[in-house]
Amino acid sequence: MPVTTIAALACGAAQAQAPAAPAVDPSSPPVILQADQIRGRPDLETVLEGHAEFRRGTVSITADRLVYEQAQDLARATGNVKVTKDGNVFTGTELQVRVSDFEGYFLQPTYFFELTQAGGSAERFDFLGSQRMRATNATYTSCLADGRGSPAWLLSTDRVRLDLDANEGIAEGAVLRFYGVPILAAPVISFPLTDARKSGWLPPSLNIDNKNGLEVQVPYYWNIAPQRDATITPTVITRRGAAADVEFRYLEPQFGGAVDLRLLPYDRLTGGSRHALNLRHDGDGPLAIRHRARIHRVSDDDFWKDFPQRIGSLTPRLLPTDVYAERGYARGFGHWTTYARVQQWQVLQVADLASRIVTPYERSPQLGARWGAPAAGGLELALETEYNRFTLPPGTDNPATRITGSRMHLLGSVSRPFGTPGWSLVPRLALNAAQYDVDQPLADGRTSASRAIPTFSVDTAWVFERDSQWFGRAYRQTLEPRLVYVNTPFRDQSLLPNFDSAPRDFNVDSIYTDNAFSGVDRVSDAQQLTAGVTTRLIDPATGAESMRFGVVQRYLLRDQRLTPDGVPATQRFSDLLLLGSANLTPAWSADASVQYNADTQRTVRSILGARWSPGPFRTLNARYRFTRDLSEQAEFGWQWPIYRARNEGGAGPAGAATCSGSWYSVGRVNYSMRDSRITDSVFGVEYDAGCWIGRVVAERLSTGRSEATTRLMLQLELVGLSRLGSNPLNVLKDNIPGYRLLRDERAAPTDTTRQ
């Protein structure tokens, strides 16, 4: 966008002021004069001719002829004038400036800025003081001229006025041309001269998808105050109508957050109004109370399918309203934390019954306290007590079959850790107690019930190390065995409500836990022993892990009656879990995890992955996921050059020299072998011309078994200026492990495009 270009031009012009420091100032650096011939009159003027050079500090002025008039503090340079300051270079035919107040002019200047690797020319620079200046007929680009005598992209302005004190620049008649074709123009543009924020219009953004058609956004940034700002984005959606997005951000000393609101007053496809709200807030209130709020709400069940990029939640069909506050106390014996919470949900359901979501319970409210403290003899004590009122949100499927009510629970433990850096032993006694009061009678007719379940466990682990040689390299090898014993008696919980418990995923972390369920309402009985061992190869010079291999299995000392699938477990040995990872070379990495059933001699679940990254902008990823009788998926992602032309002089594309280009392919494909179809995919190409980058990326997201949203993103990045169009970069970084930007972020200082 022109605003960035002129801001960069302003910074360069401001740097050129440095040579104008008064020569009489004793605090300034000494002046060094050098030329083929030097003559002058003492205290009046000094004349330098032939390779004339004036140097003060980091500033250098060279010219064919340079005159400095001490009486008027005036410097005049003519013929091949060149000014260098901090890597920025200015050249022209004639420079005249009054050094003390920096008033004067520079005729026919050209300039190059080190930071942006770009520059341009002007007909005239007028210096109106140390903080104000004016440029006439100025241009800016990071491209060298092509064979036709013009650069690939060029920004031109009739006049630019710069006021450094006010941090404001005003450009008149700004036009941005791409290969000679005007693509942006504005009669007057106001912009900041530094990284400080300033109100004004931002570059337009374009989005195209199969459900909305073309979406054109023109954001306006409002710098309300140093700690508050807003972005208001009028939007036109060809298939749906006019819309608006509003983002308000605030950052006060005690709190901060943001509010995002999308409004579509009338959707031509649905015949009604639609909206989405996303609020994030964190802060510290009076009495040292910390608070947090997360609110996500949309107008209808189909919003997540029609506008997937507008859902600000990791679970697009399950939107939370979560308000939380806590206060800590460190007085007396131990540390207390009291807290209160209200948690509600908006569930976006679909017509397909097989794809509908089971609505989670809401907590209205949740009140609790936690306490922990060391005790005599090295004991560690912990206690949590909590009250919850569980309700169901409106519109819940089959609410009559689901019990609502309240629960008071207490979780307590006492443990005594032993150990040194090489080993540890932690015996622990825990209690899970709960009291229920329900709104509907239980199966036995009661409306209240209680239970208390103790658990005893011992967790011990060791770490052994030795120096070893593998693959011709020196490593430090570890051997890390771990043994966990758990004993929990059986308590019948079949008649009790289940508000928040769910089966834990069976993996190398959960296998060491003492409960097969998450939450509070279900506690599995157990008398079991879990044994595992891990070995690692560590580079002794860097501490980086080169390889890891582990195996773990659980052994039941008695049958387990309360299980996640409701079937008592009589099999003594659990499935065997194996995991491994390797990073033996900088280019190759691999990882794997396997769940194997020895009785059936079959793999129950596995994840296998590998990545090859032989160099910058070259990465290939492959991953295979398998869950027996449930899913089987293969995923492949990449960033790879498909054609790379060398710039003049042999420079790579980062040289930003001649706008000759390199093509890259980027993408990710997720294929379901069970359904024989591609579920989600991203595919695109990037063209790096050295001074500009073009991106075309298509994204397909499944929103149902037979539904998908396809989005096309187009972006033009003018190196040293800005990015125009829709923004696919977040999509590429989120979907392609190892993806790298073709240009450093600072090369596009005003990336104001939005998803």
Reported as a single tens digit per residue, the pLDDT across 311-327 is 877 788 899 999 999 99
Distance CA 390, CA 342 (A): 10
Average of pLDDT values for 48-72?
84
Report residue 149's pLDDT band, with 50, 70 and 90 as the boundaries: low
Element (H, E) at 4: helix 2-15
| 171 contacts 191 by C-beta, under 8 angstroms | yes
State percent of the chain over pLDDT 90: 52
CA 272 to chain centroid: 34
Please give the full DSSP string across 682-741, using - where no structure is assigned. EEEEEEE-SSEEEEEEEEEEE-SSS-EEEEEEEEEEETTTEEEE---HHHHHHHSTT---
Using DSSP's 3-state secondary structure scheme, residue 658 falls into coil
Residue 7 pLDDT > 50, yes or no?
Answer: no
Element (H, E) at 306: helix 303-306
Q: Verify cis geometry, omega within 30 degrees of 0, for the bond prior to 365.
A: yes
Average of pLDDT values for 293-315?
88
Please give the full DSSP string across 47-79, using - where no structure is assigned. EEEEEEEEEETTEEEEEEEEEEETTTTEEEEEE
Average of pLDDT values for 364-384?
92
Distance CA 26, CA 3 (A): 39
Among 712, 718, 748, CA closest to 206? 712
| 579 contacts 549 by C-beta, under 8 angstroms | yes
- Torsion, Cα of 501, 505, 510, 515 (10° steps): 30
For 516, phi and psi rounded to 5 degrees? Answer: -75, -5
Q: Please, what's the largest Cα pairwise distance for the chain?
A: 113
* Tokens (6 digits) for 248: 């308000």
Residue 725 pLDDT > 80, yes or no?
Answer: yes
| 555 contacts 547 by C-beta, under 8 angstroms | no
Q: Is 477 exposed, middle or buried, given 0-12, 13-18 or 19+ CB atoms closer than 10 A?
A: middle
Q: In 316-424, where does DSSP find H-type helix?
A: none
* Tokens (6 digits) for 536: 């690692």
CB atoms within 10 A of CB 248: 17
Average of pLDDT values for 182-204?
76
What does the pLDDT read at residue 721? 75
Distance CA 526, CA 453 (A): 12
| 515 contacts 493 by C-beta, under 8 angstroms | no
Residue 37 pLDDT > 50, yes or no?
Answer: yes
Distance CA 150, CA 136 (A): 19
Distance CA 307, CA 709 (A): 9
Among 546, 446, 545, 457, CA closest to 496? 446
For 456, phi and psi rounded to 5 degrees? Answer: -115, 135
Name the amino acid, one letter, at 108. Answer: Q
Residue 106 pLDDT > 70, yes or no?
Answer: yes
Kindly provide the residue ranges of all beta strands, DSSP E only, lying in 334-463, ordered along the sequence: 335-347, 362-374, 380-391, 405-415, 418-420, 423-438, 448-462
Average of pLDDT values for 60-74?
85
Using DSSP's 3-state secondary structure scheme, residue 245 falls into strand
Distance CA 284, CA 271 (A): 43
Contacts of 436 (CB under 8 A, 6+ apart): 405, 406, 407, 448, 449, 450, 496, 497
CB atoms within 10 A of CB 53: 15
Pick one of 3.40.50.2300, 2.60.450.10, 3.30.310.80, 2.170.150.20 as the CATH number of 2-197: 2.60.450.10
Among 86, 79, 144, CA closest to 108? 79
Report residue 85's pLDDT band, with 50, 70 and 90 as the boundaries: confident
Distance CA 46, CA 432 (A): 91
* Tokens (6 digits) for 95: 């420079």
* Tokens (6 digits) for 506: 């069976």
* Tokens (6 digits) for 681: 């995919």
Residue 4 pLDDT > 50, yes or no?
Answer: no
Among 591, 592, 551, 606, CA closest to 573? 551
| 241 contacts 268 by C-beta, under 8 angstroms | yes
Please state, rounded to an integer, the average pLDDT across all residues of the chain: 86
In the numeric block, the tokens 């605003």 are attached to: 3
Residue 655 pLDDT > 50, yes or no?
Answer: no
Report residue 116's pLDDT band, with 50, 70 and 90 as the boundaries: low
What does the pLDDT read at residue 65? 92
Name the amino acid, one letter, at 624. Answer: Y
In the numeric block, the tokens 């590998």 are attached to: 610
Reported as a single tens digit per residue, the pLDDT across 482-523 is 999 999 999 999 999 999 999 999 999 999 999 999 999 999
More confident residue, 717 or 609: 609
Distance CA 257, CA 294 (A): 10
The domain locations on the chain are 2-197, 199-365, 403-584, 614-755
Residue 747 pLDDT > 50, yes or no?
Answer: no
Task: Provide the β-strand partners of residue 171.
Answer: 160, 189
* Tokens (6 digits) for 226: 């140093």
Residue 282 pLDDT > 90, yes or no?
Answer: yes
* Tokens (6 digits) for 314: 């990791």
